[in-house]
Amino acid sequence: MSETLIHVASGKVRELFTIDDDRLLLVASDRISTFDVVLPTEIPDKGRVLTGLSAFWFARTRDVCANHLLELRPDGGSTECRRLEMLPLECVVRGYLAGSGWKDYQRTGSTSGHALPRGLQESGRLPEPIFTPSTKATSGHDENIDSGRAMELVGRERYEEVEQTSLALYRFAAEHAAAHGILIADTKFEFGLDADGRLVLADEAFTPDSSRFWPADDYTPGGSQPSFDKQFVRDYCEALGWDKTPPGPELPEDVVAGTRARYLDAFERLTGIAFAEYLADPTVVT
């Protein structure tokens, strides 16, 4: 058996290859981005941590929604996935008010068509999680859209299905993570359809790259929160006075080591599995 991989897409820090008509290979690199710029310095094992976390969540949410994961490769940093017809929607769930949700709320009192109570604070917990879809921008930032616009993109029934599924996935993971000291402020899913038209969770799930993770211990609404994984990198970049345009700065050894430790800490807290165990046999998370 031999496989010729054809490169089909590049994300900021991941690569996608075709294996055959039915399967893709998703490779997570050790690259890290901050302020939307990929830095020249890698964080060793970051790709394995994120791949392992996704596989962990895919295994635990399979009764909530089917997912694209077929096989975790022995390297721990890449997965074989079912090839799907992707929906043209970024499915965002917010449990807390941060990022573009907070910006929308300050301007308009609502976000993605959800009228919110007055007096919410930055990073404040929402009365209940909300589904705030956005469009996939080919360049620049995704644009938040309301349910009417999202229904035009995928149809009303499919919209209602992705909304309910997204909320159920978020509730499950946010409750698990909070019990282990991590708040999932918000998260982004991508869904696709299989050959029978069934909804399938694709891409990555509840990784620190697709979600805002906050350390629960330090949670103080009324301002921005430190990021669980990238705060050392951001603090270092801010202290440098870098103007946040490419190229980004090289990271010093201590920032790399501290950031790597944060990724491993998130992995071990959320999975309850030692990262060394994962490296020895990635299937332990599934």
Residues 30-49 that bind ligand Q0Z (CB under 6 A): none
Distance in angstroms (rounded) separating the CA atoms of residues 99 and 92? 12
Binds ligand Q0Z by CB under 6 A, chosen from 31, 82, 171, 269: 82
Would you count residue 66 as binding ligand Q0Z (CB under 6 A)? no
Residues 3-22 that bind ligand Q0Z (CB under 6 A): 9-11, 14-16
Closest separation in Å from C-beta 203 to ligand Q0Z: 5
Nearer to ligand Q0Z, 142 or 265 (CB): 142
Would you count residue 282 as binding ligand Q0Z (CB under 6 A)? no
Residues 147-206 that bind ligand Q0Z (CB under 6 A): 192, 202-203
Nearer to ligand Q0Z, 153 or 216 (CB): 153
Would you count residue 86 as binding ligand Q0Z (CB under 6 A)? yes
Would you count residue 284 as binding ligand Q0Z (CB under 6 A)? no
Footprint of ligand Q0Z on this chain (CB under 6 A)?
A: 9-11, 14-16, 24, 26, 68, 81-84, 86, 192, 202-203
